[in-house]
Chain A
Amino acid sequence: MNCADVRERLTDVAGGELEGARADEARAHAASCPSCGRALAELEATIGLLRRAGQEPLPEGFSLSLHQALVAAGPPRLGLLDRVRATLALRPVTFAASAAALAAMLATGGTMLALHHAHAPSPTTIAAYQVPASKLALVKIDFVAEKAIDDVAFEITLPDGLRFVSGGQELAERTFRFQGKLEAGSNPIPIAVRGPHAGRYKVIAHAIGTELDVTQEVVLEVTS
């Protein structure tokens, strides 16, 4: 072996990645060649120092500072696939809504009925929105019906942290219930909401009718 061949192997020998006959050859050469022997010794010293370095202790207050930064950053961004899935999930739903009824109620501040929530099926995420905390979000819950269905009971519930907004005022009620019907095709229900604090919230929409019991959710991400 010549020096050039040995030098190619020295770092793997020093790091322990190369063992066996090829490592023994290199070590044997290094033992008889002052230049390669010095290079091997220096590499072993360098790698040894790196491995002994281990972990730096975390600075005092690191975890608290990180916690504050995470809270201030707001929730993770939804991945692209999540958004695509949410869009696709709309299609097979056989469901429609009384958009006009709710829109009118929101516009006029009309009567709303709080509902004691009974058991509901697991919701399907149908859409996701992102809005800054200072802005009003217009969320559309779009129900697609294959055929018209009369006499459907709708319920839309906000989580803690979101408020319905009507006429520029935040409302105390968390749940709307109203009767409506489905039209064949798309039936978007627009609702105006606001969330003063960063976070990810789920708006739950529930519809019950003849042979119909569907729960959907819309994710609203409020950013700081």
Chain B
Amino acid sequence: MPVMQPAKPMKPPLPAHELAGLVERAREGDVAAFERLIASYQPKVYTFAFAFTGSPDVAQDLAQDALVKVYKSLGSFRFQSAFSTWLYSIVKNTYLDAVKSRAGRERALEEPLTERDVAELHEAATAEERLLAKESRRTLLRALRQVPVAYRTVVALADVQGLGYEEIAGALGVPVGTVKSRLKRGRDALKDALHRQRGQEEP
């Protein structure tokens, strides 16, 4: 049984004056200032993309597209919400647009396990090791793709990214109550997806 661990704490946000200065410079086309602004968000956005797609290559393209959109949209950031909330709202929209597109639907198709995944499974000697290998990070994130996108978004933001209810509500533009209900349904759906996988793979 895996041991419960708390979500990794978020890095402290940039001081307000530094954030404002970087936003101002980035708005003027200073790419270096923008890169400083999003430095701590790059891994989070990529992981979020990975949770959506389950594919490193597609996730890289999607994360890059999302961050370019964040850059191009800086003129609309009004400091009325946390920068992270505003950033995630754009990232989320980029991902949802990709899912809606034809290419996105194709990306959403379940992919077979890679040779590496299969090798991991066969190399695991005991049942416990096989279970841990089977439920490796990437396998888990692939299972996430079986969760409806509205729930998947909330699960990825809450349990993978470690965002709170309020921050997720701001990013998605929905009430906190909706975040809670989607998180519950998303976790249940993921639990069921993993359960089905175990059932399929057991003799």
Contacts and interface: CB of A to CB of B under 8 A. Distances in A.
Given A65-B64, A76-B29, A15 B74 contact: no
B181 to A, nearest CB: 10
Nearest to B44: A55
Interface stretch (A43-51, A90-98, A205-213): A43-51
A55 B47 contact: yes
A77 B72 contact: yes
Query: Per DSSP, are chain A's interface residues mostly helix, strand or loop, or mixed?
Result: helix
A163 interface: no
A59 interface: yes
Interface stretch (A67-75, A112-120, A149-157, A181-189): A67-75
Contacts of A50: 140, 155, 159-160, 190
A70 B71 contact: yes
B44 A11 contact: no
Interface string A31-64: 0000000010111111111111111111100110
B199 to A, nearest CB: 12
Given A47-B187, A56-B47, A70 B159 contact: no
Given A49-B140, A69-B64, A200-B29, A78 B75 contact: yes
A76 B72 contact: yes
Contact of B187 (A43, A62, A69): A43
Contacts of A82: 75
A14 interface: yes
B8 interface: yes
Contact of A77 (B3, B73, B184): B73
Interface string B85-111: 000000000000000000000000000
Contacts of B190: 46, 50
A76 B2 contact: no
Interface string A99-128: 000000000000000000000000000000
Given A73-B72, A75-B29, A51 B6 contact: yes
A76 B90 CA distance: 14
Nearest to B164: A17
Contact of B29 (A39, A55, A67, A74): A74
Contacts of B178: none
A48 B191 CA distance: 11
B60 A62 contact: yes
Contacts of A41: 1
B136 to A, nearest CB: 9
Contact of B2 (A16, A52, A75): A52
Nearest to B63: A62
Interface in A18-39: 39
Interface in A201-223: none
B159 A76 contact: no
B8 A76 contact: no
Contact of B68 (A46, A55, A59, A73): A73
B162 to A, nearest CB: 8
Nearest to A200: B29
B169 interface: no
A172 interface: no
Interface string B48-83: 001000001001100110011001111110100000
A199 interface: yes
A39 B56 CA distance: 31
Given A15-B159, A66-B64, A58 B43 contact: yes
Given A56-B59, A77-B72, 12 more contacts: A42-B194, A46-B191, A51-B160, A54-B137, A55-B43, A56-B137, A62-B42, A65-B64, A66-B68, A76-B73, A78-B75, A199-B29
Question: Which 10 residue pairs are nearest across A and B when measured between Cβ atoms?
Answer: A75-B29, A79-B75, A50-B159, A76-B74, A11-B184, A48-B2, A55-B43, A200-B29, A56-B47, A46-B191
28 contacts: A8-B184, A11-B183, A12-B180, A43-B187, A44-B2, A45-B2, A46-B187, A48-B5, A49-B140, A51-B159, A53-B47, A54-B8, A54-B137, A55-B8, A56-B43, A56-B59, A59-B46, A62-B46, A66-B42, A67-B31, A70-B34, A74-B72, A76-B74, A77-B73, A79-B75, A79-B78, A80-B76, A199-B29
